[in-house]
Amino acid sequence: MTHKTTLSFTDRHHRFLSEKVGEGVFASQSAAVAAALEQMMRDEEERALLLDSITEEVRARMQTSSDEYVDPASAFASAKQAIGNAAAE
């Protein structure tokens, strides 16, 4: 089902839509707006999945006991040495 609505655009947005329709990228301005909305919906879904994954990872790491932590000095020692070597060159 489609719904007819009225949208307002800035001159810049209107010009862009008109150019894309003129280039044949989209069949109409409505099709271009629909494609943009579809992309926004996909972006929102992807963002939600990523946030859920991050949340799960944080929760899992919160369950890690402190004796399993990695010492930051030793963890970053080789990176600091590589940076120092690169700066000396």
Q: CA 5 to CA 40: how far, in whole Å?
A: 19
Q: Which residue has the higher pLDDT, 66 or 32?
A: 32
Measure Cα distances from 79 to 61, 84, 86 in Å.
23, 9, 10
The pLDDT value given to residue 16: 97
At 54 the pLDDT is: 97
- Only one residue has tokens 């994954």, namely 53
Name the percent of the chain lying above pLDDT 90.
78
What's the confidence (pLDDT) of residue 87? Answer: 87
The pair of three-digit structure tokens given for residue 39, joined into one six-digit string: 């992309």
pLDDT reading at 75 higher than 90: no
3-state SS assignment for residue 89: coil
Query: What are the structure tokens assigned to 59, written together?
Result: 């929760």
CA pair distance 32, 23, nearest whole angstrom = 12
